[in-house]
Amino acid sequence: MDVKKISIKEKAGFAIGLVVLLLIGSFFFNYYAMNSLGSHSLKRRAPVIRLQKEKKDTIEVLIIGDSESYTTVSPMQVWKDTGYTMYVGGQSGQTMNEMLTMLETGLDTQHPKAVLIETNALYRTSGDLNQLQEMIATKAASILPIFQYHDLWENAIIKPAGEALNMAGKGFDIRDSVKPYTGSPDYMKQTSKEQEIPRVNQMLFDRIAELCRQNGASLILYSGPSPVNYSMEKHNRLARLASQYHLQYIDMNMETKEIGIDWNKDTLDRGDHMNISGAEKTTAYMETVLKTLNLTDRRKDPAYQEWNDLAETYQKQASGAIARIRGGAQGENK
């Protein structure tokens, strides 16, 4: 066939047909993704999908960030202690671009009063050019979601639906492994130096801050205890960032003694992440911040009975894990 002889009308018809097929495919894959877990790529996006599946307008606090976010604050502990509804939209190695996507996803169906950013992702970069390419790809995927799940064709057609999404932790997983941190407990050594935030990350943060402002959500920065990831140089820059945007900044690395962190028992992997014993303490510390935000205690609201049921199951699992870690302690949340 001579391509040159194809009429403009035929070309337009082909283009329209292609768009229709893409839209139908996008609907199919969105439906599939919302109801099953399949490939590694989909598992990567599982936190986004879980957030989409939360009941509309039920989340008052949204946390976004990398693995430091979902190992430091437990929504079910927060619920048990305060009745506040929280979801952790964290991903392992979450980039700032993914953080923005997670926030946009949350704002599609929720109206959080507060958005908490765990700040480690602000320092993660693959270079300006790669990040800009990732931003373009992500935006294209949000317009035609089939691109988000392009590797699921075989999984969708050949394999049966995967396991149901586990919603119990609201983005938090109980981790009971212990590998002590053996470095200096005084790793936040005083200095006036700053570690600069990569340029594209700063640009993406500005967009995140603006979205929070437009949607009436208080934006709060926090850094979980992690000698592997944090230093005084980072603290200084993050504190200045918070000041520039008139935001609250909580650096738990400056408060490890007050929080009660035991580096022999509270870290999962030698000072990189908290295990459930450490997370119980950092969550309790974060609750003091949440209590200043005029949030609503919904524990007696019949519409939220599911949360009470989930919290009861969670508490049994968490208490047992904490008791094992602490060597016979009761593991009660305080």
How far apart CA 240 and CA 54 sit, in angstroms, is 35
Nearest to 218 by CA among 199, 255, 245, 240: 245
% of the chain beyond a pLDDT of 90: 69
Residue 331 falls in which region: left (phi positive, over 0), alpha (psi -120 to 50) or beta: left
Going across the sheet that includes 248-251, the strands are 86-90, 61-65, 114-118, 218-223, 248-251
The yes or no reply on domain 6-325 and CATH 3.40.640.10 is no
- Average of per-residue pLDDT across 41-59: 85
- Average of per-residue pLDDT across 182-209: 96
Residue boundaries of the structural domains of the chain? 6-325
% of the chain beyond a pLDDT of 70: 72
pLDDT at 82 over 80: yes
Cβ neighbours around 214 below 10 Å, total: 9
Residue 5: what pLDDT?
A: 57
Angle, alpha carbons 322-324-325 (nearest 5°): 65
Q: Of the ranges 24-38, 64-78, 310-324, which one carries the lowest mean pLDDT score?
A: 24-38
How far apart CA 33 and CA 56 sit, in angstroms, is 19
- pLDDT, tens only, 116-169: 999 999 999 865 555 555 655 555 555 555 455 444 443 443 344 433 345 679
Residue 22: what pLDDT?
A: 59
Q: Of the ranges 106-120, 142-156, 246-260, 281-295, which one carries the lowest mean pLDDT score?
A: 142-156
- Average of per-residue pLDDT across 304-314: 95
Confidence of residue 78 (pLDDT cuts 50, 70, 90): very high
Chain mean pLDDT for the chain: 84
pLDDT at 4 over 90: no
Q: Which residue has the higher pLDDT, 330 or 215?
A: 215
What DSSP line would sit under 112-153, residue for residue?
-SEEEEEGGGGG--S-HHHHHHHHHHHHHHHHSGGGGGGGGH
Question: Which residue's structure tokens are 């008791």?
Answer: 323
- pLDDT, tens only, 176-194: 999 999 999 999 999 999 9
Residue 125: what pLDDT?
A: 85
